[in-house]
Amino acid sequence: MPLRSLHPLPLVPLSPQDWVFLTRFCFLSDFGRLDFRFLVYCLCGVNLSLSQWPAVYKRPDKDCYQKEAVLRPENNQVINLTTRYTWSGCVGDEEVLSCVGGRSFRSVRERWWYIALSKCGGEGLQLEYEMKLTNGQSFWTQHFSADEFGILETDITFLVIFSLVFILSCYFAYNLKGRQLLHTTYKMFMTAAGVEVLSLLFHCIYWGLYARDGVGNGSLKIMGKLLFSVSFLVFLLMLILLGKGFTVTRARISHSGSVKLSIYMTVYTITYIILFIYEAEFFDPGEVLYAYDSPAGYGLMGLQLLAYVWFCYAVLISLKHYPEKQPFYIPFFTAYTLWFFAVPVMALIANFGIPRWAREKIVNGIQLGIHLYAHIVFLAITRPSAANKNFPYHVRTSQIGILLSSPKAGVAGESFPHHAYGNSSFLGDSQPNFTELFSIQSVTLFISAVVTKCFYKTPSLKTQGANNSSVEFQWLGKTP
């Protein structure tokens, strides 16, 4: 979109076009204001149009005169940039006109106004211009189009909330690490939350600068969008991994599963990149569009639904082999079923159900709310508390290396021994259960093999008792 705030532009050679769209702005019902300054190197007129916009835009069957004919000069929809029209504020000679003026906008409700330049029957347009489009004098509204009202306040609010979520996740991670239950999936959750905070920080800085001068820094907005997408992809990958039982029922994903996940996430990432490129290069500034209202956007919604099918299958397989994990997987599956469908439903509602003059601010709030819901749910079901009956982890991080290095790691090493939950080890608010810190609750064949191997390879341990439990503690340097 061309710059719409007071910001000088160099010479703009627009010839040989005789009708050119400049920008659009959603004015408030009582406080809308357009201030302009033109240096005109040809006689032309500025056309301000609202309800007539669909009748002229992208209508190759209409020439310049027909497009001007739909405007109503009696409603101040046309400003002739000539010295003959007093309200244009134009002074100068036949070669260069300097026009300084403005218009106030009043309507029953917020409305889009579209600004275009035309010079019918001439040799085209060539000019320099500045425009300042404002809504009142408040810092929170002045430079914002009415469809952008509240975005800065919403982003600041969610920045504070997500920062608290991230800090709380770090506190939980500290407790989990003390109990050796800080698994990779929880670290992925922390990463997603941290990147979300950075994304909102960049957005807040961008909108803060924009509120100050009406221009902002586009690079900050792009970086915020990229980080938002990264946070979403990390969280999505974490959900699929948990659905497959990674760190809950198994120590690692199979080779074929890893390949499938890599391909899927690569396709998802490429589709996101295509969406960014499509939005930057092909979105028409003359139309009020939404990011998901594009081929790449519909592709992302399709990939989201595909991920949900995969998620369902993975959870069902995990429950089939580990039915004792139902207290975790049932609320996990129920909560994130809503999350998986929320994004496509939101996109469809935004495209077809939300008025265009209110779309951007409403979608921004809904999208952030969906992300916050997903993070808070995960934070709740993984909180390290003895009262948490949904806690998923029961195998210590120190035990995973033993599982994977066992003689049968290729088969049994992928799966954890059956056990309900690790929250039974939360004996106090800060002290871990040292008696279970390095021992697996269910003694299985491959663990016994590892312990027996260590027993016979360590002479000093051979005399320390005959049962496996004693050998295990002596081998790990602990007293029974």
Statement to judge: residues 406 and 377 lie in one domain: no
Question: Of 347, 381, 415, which residue is a domain's last?
Answer: 381
Does residue 336 lie within any of the structural domains? Answer: yes
Statement to judge: residues 105 and 197 lie in one domain: no
Contact at 8 Å (CB) between 221 and 206? yes
Does residue 5 lie within any of the structural domains? Answer: no
Statement to judge: residues 339 and 449 lie in one domain: no
Domain span holding position 101 = 12-135
Statement to judge: residues 330 and 273 lie in one domain: yes
Q: Which two tokens stand for residue 438?
A: 């390095």
Statement to judge: residues 182 and 256 lie in one domain: yes
Contact at 8 Å (CB) between 396 and 438? yes
Question: Of 104, 135, 166, which residue is a domain's last?
Answer: 135
pLDDT tens-digit map of 408-440: 544 444 565 565 544 555 544 444 444 343 433
Q: Looking at residues 341-367, what average pLDDT do you find? A: 85
Q: Looking at residues 26-31, what average pLDDT do you find? A: 75
Q: Looking at residues 300-312, what average pLDDT do you find? A: 90
Enclosing H/E stretch for 128: strand 126-135
* Burial class of 337 by CB neighbour count within 10 A (0 to 12, 13 to 18, 19+): middle
CA dihedral sign, ordered 209, 214, 218, 224: positive
pLDDT at 211 over 70: yes
Assign 104 a pLDDT band (cuts: 50, 70, 90): confident
pLDDT tens-digit map of 262-271: 999 999 899 8
Does residue 225 lie within any of the structural domains? Answer: yes
**How many Å apart are CA 191 and CA 231, to the nearest integer?**
7
Does residue 449 lie within any of the structural domains? Answer: yes
The set of residues, in sequence order, having a beta carbon less than 8 Å from that of 347 and lying 6+ positions away, is 290, 292, 293, 297, 301
Q: Identify the bridge partners of residue 126 per DSSP, sorted by sequence position.
A: 13
Give the closest residue to 437 by CA, choosing from 453, 425, 450, 455. Answer: 425
Which comes out higher in pLDDT, residue 362 or 57?
Answer: 362
pLDDT at 300 over 50: yes
Statement to judge: residues 450 and 371 lie in one domain: no
The set of residues, in sequence order, having a beta carbon less than 8 Å from that of 404 and lying 6+ positions away, is 251, 252, 413
Q: What is the CATH number for 162?
A: 1.20.1070
Statement to judge: residues 439 and 315 lie in one domain: no
* pLDDT given at position 415: 61
Statement to judge: residues 17 and 165 lie in one domain: no
The set of residues, in sequence order, having a beta carbon less than 8 Å from that of 84 and lying 6+ positions away, is none
* pLDDT given at position 378: 95
Contact at 8 Å (CB) between 343 and 303? no
Contact at 8 Å (CB) between 131 and 5? yes
Domain count, the chain: 3
CA dihedral sign, ordered 296, 297, 298, 301: positive
pLDDT at 352 over 90: no
Statement to judge: residues 257 and 164 lie in one domain: yes
Statement to judge: residues 123 and 187 lie in one domain: no
Does residue 6 lie within any of the structural domains? Answer: no
Q: Identify the bridge partners of residue 13 per DSSP, sorted by sequence position.
A: 126
* pLDDT given at position 18: 73
pLDDT at 154 over 90: yes
Statement to judge: residues 338 and 405 lie in one domain: no
Q: What is the CATH number for 116?
A: 2.60.120
Statement to judge: residues 375 and 403 lie in one domain: no
Does residue 390 lie within any of the structural domains? Answer: no
Axis-axis angle for helices 184-213, 151-178 (nearest 10): 160
Which comes out higher in pLDDT, residue 432 or 94?
Answer: 94
* pLDDT given at position 98: 84
pLDDT tens-digit map of 38-47: 887 765 554 4
**How many Å apart are CA 61 and CA 273, to the nearest integer?**
35
Assign 161 a pLDDT band (cuts: 50, 70, 90): very high
Q: Are strands 126-135 and 12-13 parallel, antiparallel or unpaired?
A: antiparallel
* Burial class of 16 by CB neighbour count within 10 A (0 to 12, 13 to 18, 19+): exposed
**How many Å apart are CA 4 and CA 33, to the nearest integer?**
12
Q: Identify the bridge partners of residue 92 per DSSP, sorted by sequence position.
A: 97
Question: Of 338, 353, 381, which residue is a domain's last?
Answer: 381
Does residue 33 lie within any of the structural domains? Answer: yes
Does residue 37 lie within any of the structural domains? Answer: yes
